Chains A and B, each alone.
Chain A
Amino acid sequence: MAEGATVTRLPERTKRPPVISSAVLGTLFFIVAEVMFFSGAISAFTISRSGALPGTWPMPGQPRLPAEATMLNTALLLLSGIVLVVAHRLYRKQNPIAHWVTLCAWALGAGFVGLQGVEWAGLLSQGLTLTSSPLGSFFYLIVGSHAVHAVVALIALGVAWLQMARNKLAPGLFFGAQTFWYFVVLLWPIIYLRVYF
C-alpha cells in the first residue's frame, strides 16, 4: 500500500483477543444448522414410520435394510475418525509421518463411501428406489445427504493431505476439513441406529 505512508497513522486499535477464532466460530454455527437439518430429516422419518398403518412399513415387497452388513461400513467410518485424531496429534507435534496417517484416515473414509455405494446398488436392484415407498424416499434422502457431506469432507481432507505432503498446508484448511469430517463420522451412528433398525 504505497499511499498509506503519506497519511498519518491512525491510533492502533487495542486488540480484543477472541475467545474462539472467527473461523472456528463460523464453522461451528454452520454445523449447528447442519445438525438441525439432519434432525429434521431423521425425526420426519421417525414420525412417518410410527404413523404408518399396520403392515405398511416397510411396504410389502420392499427389501429389508442390510443392518448387519452395514456394521462393517460403520466400523470403517468410526476407525477413520479415530485415525484422523491421531493424525492431528502427530501433525501438532510436526511428526513427518502425519500426512501418511491422514491418508490412512482418508482411505478408510473412502472405503466407507465405496461400501455404501455397493449397498445402494444392491438395494436398487432389489426394488428399493427413491420413489418406491416412503422407506425408500427417506432412506435415500437421509443416507444420501450424509453421503454428499462425506464426499465433500473427503475432497477437503484430500486437498489438505496433498498440501501436507508438499509441506505447504494452509492453516485453516486442515482444521476445517477435520471439523467437517468429525461431524460426518459422529452423525453416522445416529443415522445408522435410527434408520437401519
Chain B
Amino acid sequence: MSSTATATKHEDHGHDSHGHGPDAHAHHPEQNFFMKYLWSTDHKIIGMQYLFTGMFMALIGGFTVYAFRMQQAFPGMSIPGYGRVTATDYNALVTTHGSVMIFWVAMPVLIAALGNYLIPLMIGCDDMVFPRLNRLSYQIFLVSVIVLIASFFVEGGAFGGAWTSYPPLSAKAQYNLTPLGAPMWLFAVALEFAAFLMGGINFVTTVMNSRAPGMKMFDVPIVVWSIIIASILFMASVGPLIAGAVMMLFDQTLGTAFFDPNKGGDPVLWQHLFWFFGHPEVYVVMLPAMGIVAEVIATFSRKKLFAYKTVLYTMIGTGALSFFVWAHHQFIAGIDPRMANIFSVTTLLISIPVAEMLFVYIATLYGGSIRLTTPMLWALAFIGEFLLGGVTGIFLGSSGADIYFHDTYFVLAHFHYTFFPIAFIAVFAAMTYWFPKMFGRYMNEAWGKVHFWGTIVSFNFIFIPLFLLGARGDHRRIFDYTHFPDLMKPGMQDLRILATLSLVVLLSFQVIFLVNFFLSMVKGEKAPANPWKSNTLEWVAPSPPPHGNFPEGLPTVHRGPYEYSHPDRQDDYWPQNAS
C-alpha cells in the first residue's frame, strides 16, 4: 500500500469515527504483516480470513469423503493416501465430513466470508459497526478449527457419532468409544456458534445503521438482504441448540441424565433441540446462496431483477416457515403420527417460496442479453441442480413415503443436491464473480469453464447413482457391504463404484480451481474497478478496495441495485450512486 493510500486511510477514519460507536479502533501509522493480515479489524481482511480458513477446511472435508467413499466402492482395500479404513475410522470420517462441510465450510464461507467482505462494500460504508467484535468472532472461529483438528489426534480418535450427534451413542463414551473426541467435537461446535453469533449481531446492526445516505430498505441488494435474514434465523435458532449442547456436554462429562434413558432421560429430546436449529440452518446457508445467484443473474442478463420485492418477501417467508419444519427429521423416531402430518404439510409448504425464488430468477433470464461468463454458468447450474434437490425433497417431506426412504442413500443424495449447489456451486459463482473486486485481477475464464464443466458433470454422476441405490433400499450407514448380500445384488456395487470414481474426478477438478485461483491472484489480467459493468456499490470502490473502502468519499445512493438496460440511458447499467 502506497504512503498516500495509508494517509488517506487514516483520514477516512478520522472523520468518520462516529460510525464506529464505542468500538472505534485505534490506528497504527505503520502496520506490520501481523497487524495487517492476522490481527486486523478490517472487514475485508476478516472476510478473507474466513474464506481461506473455509477453503482449507473444504480440503479436509474433501479428503475424508474420498477415504470413506473408496471404502464403500472397494471394501477392505488399502486406500492410496489413507491406508485401510477400519469401522471406527469410517464413522469418524463420515462424521468429520458432515460436520466440517456444514459448520466449517458452508457457514464460514457463505455467511461469514461473504457477509464480512460484501456487506460494508455493498451498503457503502467503511467498516462494520463493531470491528473489534468482528475480529474476536474470527479468532473464536479459529480456536474452534484448532480444537476440531486437534480432536482427530487424541486418544480414541475423532468423534464418530455423525454430524447430528444423536444420543445415546454420542452421550456416553462407552458407546461411542471416543472419550475425548466427542466432547472436543461438541466444544468446537459451541465455539463456532459463539463466533457466528457475534458475526450475526454485527451484520444486522451494520446494515440497519450504516447504510449509505439515500439507500432505502428496497435499495439494499438482495444478497445483503439474504445474509441479514440468514443471520436473524441463525441468532433465533441457535439458542436451543446451545442449550442442547451444554446438556450433551454435561451428559458426556458429568454423567447428567438429560438424554440417558437409563436415568429417565429422553434421547429424542436431543433430536428436537438439534433440528430446531438444524433445519433453519439449512436456510441460513441456502438464502445467501440464493442472494448470490440473484446478483449474478441480474448482472449477466443485463436486465432488472424480476420482482425484487417478491424475492425479498419469499426470503422472509422461507425464513419464518423454516422454524416449523424441523420434526420431519423425526418421522420414524417415534413421534405422534398426527404431529407428523402437520410437519409434512409445513415441509411441503416451504417448497412454495423456494420455487418462487427460482421462478423469479428464470423470469429475470427471460428476454435478457445473457452473457455466459463463468460466474453466470455457476448461477445457472445452481438453479438446475438445486431444483433437483428440492423436487426430491417432496418425496421425503411426505411422512408416508419417508418411512420407506428414511436413512437410505436417497436422503443422502437429496441433501447433497441441495447442499452442494449451496456450498459449492453458489460459492464458485460468488468467488468468480467477486474475484476481480477482491484481488484486482481477473480469474482465467477458459480454465474457469473447464473447472465448471468438470465439476458439474461429475457431481451429477456421483449423486444420480446414489438416488437409484437409495430407491432400491440401500441403507446409509453401512461400512462394509460384503456383509450384506441383499445389498450386493448385481448392479448395486457397480453404481457405488461409479459414484466413487466420479467423486475422484470431481475432487481432481478442484485442483484446477485452486491453481487458477492462486495463480490469477498474482498473475491474472488486471481488472478495472467495475469489470462486469454492475450497479451495486462495491464496484464503485477501487479493486482491491483499500482500508476504509471508498477513498473518493462514501457514496450516496440514488436508486435501486438492478437498473440494467434502462431505456433512458445510453449505458446498459446505471450504478446506484450515479446521479
Contacts and interface: CB of A to CB of B under 8 A. Distances in A.
B553 A47 contact: no
Most chain B CB neighbours (cut-off 10 Å) among A13, A30, A132, A138: A13
A73 to B, nearest CB: 23
Given A30-B201, A40-B242, A131-B254, A10 B236 contact: no
Interface residues of B, number: 59
Contacts of B240: 36-37, 39-41, 43-44
Nearest to A171: B22
Nearest to A14: B213
Contact of A4 (B10, B21, B236): B10
Interface stretch (B157-165, B262-270, B451-459): B262-270
Contact of B208 (A18, A57, A137): A18
Interface in B264-288: 264-266, 269, 272-273, 276
Contacts of B242: 37, 40
Interface in A77-122: none
Interface in B209-262: 209-211, 213, 235-244, 246-247, 250, 254-258
A38 B246 CA distance: 12
Contacts of B250: 130, 137, 141
A138 B257 CA distance: 9
Interface of A: 1, 3-4, 6-7, 9-16, 18-23, 25-26, 29-30, 32-41, 43-44, 47-48, 51-52, 56-57, 59, 130-134, 136-138, 141, 145, 172
B11 to A, nearest CB: 5
Given A3-B29, A9-B11, A18-B209, A44 B241 contact: no
Given A13-B15, A22-B205, A134-B257, A40 B244 contact: yes
B554 interface: yes
A21 B273 contact: no
A26 B201 CA distance: 6
Contacts of B246: 141, 145
B326 interface: no
Contacts of A29: 200-201, 204-205, 235
Interface string B1-44: 00010011011101110110110000101000000000000000
B130 interface: yes
B239 A37 contact: yes
B264 A44 contact: no
B8 A51 contact: no
B67 interface: no
Given A26-B130, A29-B235, A52 B269 contact: no
A104 to B, nearest CB: 28
B243 A22 contact: no
A83 to B, nearest CB: 27
B129 interface: yes
Nearest to B270: A44
25 contacts: A1-B10, A3-B29, A4-B7, A6-B7, A7-B4, A14-B213, A21-B21, A23-B22, A29-B201, A29-B235, A32-B236, A33-B239, A36-B239, A38-B243, A40-B241, A41-B240, A41-B243, A44-B247, A47-B266, A48-B265, A133-B264, A134-B257, A134-B266, A137-B265, A145-B246
A36 B237 contact: yes
Contacts of A36: 235-240
A173 to B, nearest CB: 10
Contacts of B263: 131, 133-134
Contact of B276 (A4, A38, A40, A137): A40
A109 B135 CA distance: 34
A80 B213 CA distance: 43
Contact of B243 (A40, A133, A172): A40
A111 B236 CA distance: 32
B351 interface: no
Given A13-B213, A13-B553, A33 B244 contact: no
A136 B240 CA distance: 19
Given A22-B21, A36-B236, A134 B14 contact: no
Contact of B269 (A10, A20, A47): A47
A133 B237 contact: no
Most chain B CB neighbours (cut-off 10 Å) among A21, A59, A137: A137
Given A40-B240, A40-B276, A48-B266, A10 B254 contact: no
A147 to B, nearest CB: 14
Contacts of A10: 8, 11-12, 15, 551, 553
A138 B258 contact: yes
B36 to A, nearest CB: 18
A137 B205 CA distance: 36
Leading 7 A-B pairs by shortest Cβ distance: A40-B240, A36-B239, A37-B239, A40-B243, A18-B209, A137-B256, A41-B243
Given A15-B18, A29-B201, A134-B257, A3 B553 contact: no
Contact of A13 (B7, B16, B247): B16
Contacts of A26: 129-130, 133, 201-202, 205
B560 to A, nearest CB: 18
Contacts of B133: 26
Most chain A CB neighbours (cut-off 10 Å) among B130, B256, B258, B554: B256
B129 A134 contact: no
Given A37-B240, A40-B241, A44-B244, A131 B255 contact: yes
Nearest to B200: A29
Given A22-B205, A30-B201, A4 B14 contact: yes
Nearest to A10: B553
A59 B264 CA distance: 8
Contacts of A13: 15-16, 19, 213, 553-554
B21 A23 contact: yes
Contacts of A40: 239-244, 273, 276
A169 to B, nearest CB: 14
A115 to B, nearest CB: 25
Nearest to A170: B22
B16 to A, nearest CB: 6
B429 interface: no
A74 to B, nearest CB: 22
Contacts of B425: none
B273 A22 contact: no
B462 interface: no
B484 to A, nearest CB: 35
B389 to A, nearest CB: 28
A38 B19 CA distance: 33
B341 interface: no
B556 interface: yes
B260 to A, nearest CB: 9
Contacts of B93: none
Most chain B CB neighbours (cut-off 10 Å) among A19, A37, A51, A136: A37
A40 B258 CA distance: 13
A33 B258 contact: no
